[in-house]
Chains A and B, each alone.
Chain A
């Protein structure tokens, strides 16, 4: 059974009454214990997708979905109280920037203990120390009373992870958890994520703009473009044999050590302005293989004979 079912999820932000669509009908599901990578460039809607299932959106956002179900519970019908119980409870979230997502005036121990208080039966210093150890931080007793500014970025992100897993969630959502960190710290955090996911049997939704990070780390990969999933399949399959022209372009533009190039091939053009999306396929204006049918919105559908689904008229024959 699926742990998380998302069907036709739409989120639109309104700025001065002007609608800015961030997600335009996203459909996917996630099984218990499975990990799904969400890749896309800035503005593709990936950070919105990370927080939308728990409906943690700013006041100027409107959300709709045909189905939004977590662990058998309909999130579209859930009360604010139910949603609050899920946030930090059955669904843990790690945010992008560990430098700003911890409160500077509260101690590390206090902030972790608070999550226990709300979701795991009460304050308990011993469990906080165990959690700090669980995220591989040395000297938990010293860290307990430390303030965030006394910690390095990697340490802070580990603290955020400890908060996210404090209530033993079934699903962990990580929104670019390593973007703000240096490369060595990145690796440590990703390895820790892997380890925690396996040990705690959590499902993982890992959002990133760095496709390279997802290799070997997620079961499936979804590529997001202009608020839609354009390709979805087993990570290895998508990365080695990309079906969508956008995925192909994205992968071609990754630097490789085995190949010396004077200049990296880049995708032509800019991501579309959410206020003026082209009709039909959102990628068609940048696509070298665009043809007449692209003026019709493509649907995400399985590619014959392969485990991937793609939203492109080049695949799938007759509509």
Chain B
């Protein structure tokens, strides 16, 4: 049994690693520190963070797939313009699709969806990975990075909502006497929380070494 695993290992890592790396080792927020605009702006409640993470995951996956398919067709000189065009297209599509699914969902997400276009995580994955790798790997990379991004947003959103609003996903966690730390919902709270998580991540990394 162990020998089977051993032999499989030699060709497995290449693709599973692409998936795993985005979750933890190369986490887009805590390690690469990419896409800070939504990370700071949209994480004031856990629900917003989760929705933004999932929408980004979709756009990231679709753009990585398309960029990977077209990688031999897109000339080097106009690649960035092409990537932006592709990303903007998928953002527009998800905007319409969400409106068609539910007006309420669109109401709670509307303000952030257009922000996805300028998320440098998506552009950087298109440029650094999908334009150099095949379809399968690019899709796995996008899934890993997208889930890692969603996870990171949730980490920030949960802390900020608990401290700033006394609730998590809208459920109260403290007694009524709890005094909310309004600053945690304000932009400054985003910086504090991000600093706290980066500190924690770097501490873990240092300790491992």
**A and B bind:** no
Q: Which residues of A contact B (CB under 8 A)?
A: none
Q: Which residues of B contact A (CB under 8 A)?
A: none
